[in-house]
Amino acid sequence: MLQRIPDRVDPWRLAEQEETLEGHLKLGSLPRLAPLLANADGEAAFVLTFGKDVRRRLVITLNVGAELILECQRCLEDMVLKVDSTVRLTPVRGLQEAEQLPEELDPIMLGEGEYLVIARLIEDELLLGIPSSPRHEQQNCNRQKSVKAHELPEAEPKEDNPFAILAGLQTGENDN
């Protein structure tokens, strides 16, 4: 296992050596993810394992975990979304090659000899873990609690309602 995690790596060389990389990335350092967060403090923990499968394909296994603080789209309060994801990737050169992969492998566009940018890979996986409209569970949402606390009692009808005649016309009570 490497002591210092480089920004980018040669996945083919690491697969030959069956290397494992472990580390943490600050959420605020991920340029596409940070603006989506209500609070970009915190870190994502990751483990990258490089190897080959029985068909001698390069396989990268990524485990990533983080607690993302997002804005609930229902109550607009902060919420914590726990992301704990494991994905098995294999480099492909095009769509045709990607379509031929077995279901348990996800394609990653990466040419022979091309370096893998670790932060981008981890950021991609975290972005995939965020729902399009993040919300608390309904019973835990602050909006649901505040709506129930502020519900008004049902108003009693007033006797001098100016629209009472119209209501009578609709029901046929004011037939002359």
The residue ranking higher by pLDDT, 152 or 166, is 166
Is residue 58, in this structure, part of any structural domain at all? yes
Query: Residue 2 — pLDDT band, cuts 50, 70, 90?
Result: very low
Question: What would the DSSP string read from start to end of 103-145?
Answer: TT-EEEE--TTPPEEHHHHHHHHHHHTS-SS----GGG-HHHH
Tokens of 101: 């992969």
Is residue 49, in this structure, part of any structural domain at all? yes
At 107-156, the pLDDT tens digits run 998 877 789 999 999 999 999 999 988 888 777 777 554 444 445 455 55
Is residue 164, in this structure, part of any structural domain at all? no
Could you identify the residue written with the tokens 């494991």? 86
Domain interval for residue 28: 8-141
Cα 136 to Cα 149: distance, rounded to the nearest angstrom: 18
Domains of the chain: total: 1
pLDDT of residue 169: 72
Residue count of the chain, please give it.
176
Cα 16 to Cα 52: distance, rounded to the nearest angstrom: 8
Residue 45 pLDDT more than 90?
yes
Q: Which of 51, 57, 55, 43 is nearest to 21 (CA)?
A: 51
Query: Residue 166 — pLDDT band, cuts 50, 70, 90?
Result: confident
Strands of the chain, DSSP E: 8-9, 20-26, 43-52, 58-71, 78-92, 106-109, 116-117
Is residue 110, in this structure, part of any structural domain at all? yes
Is residue 150, in this structure, part of any structural domain at all? no
Tokens of 165: 């005649």
Is residue 173, in this structure, part of any structural domain at all? no
pLDDT of residue 37: 94
Q: What is the pTM of this model?
A: 0.74
pLDDT of residue 141: 79
Query: Residue 1 — pLDDT band, cuts 50, 70, 90?
Result: very low
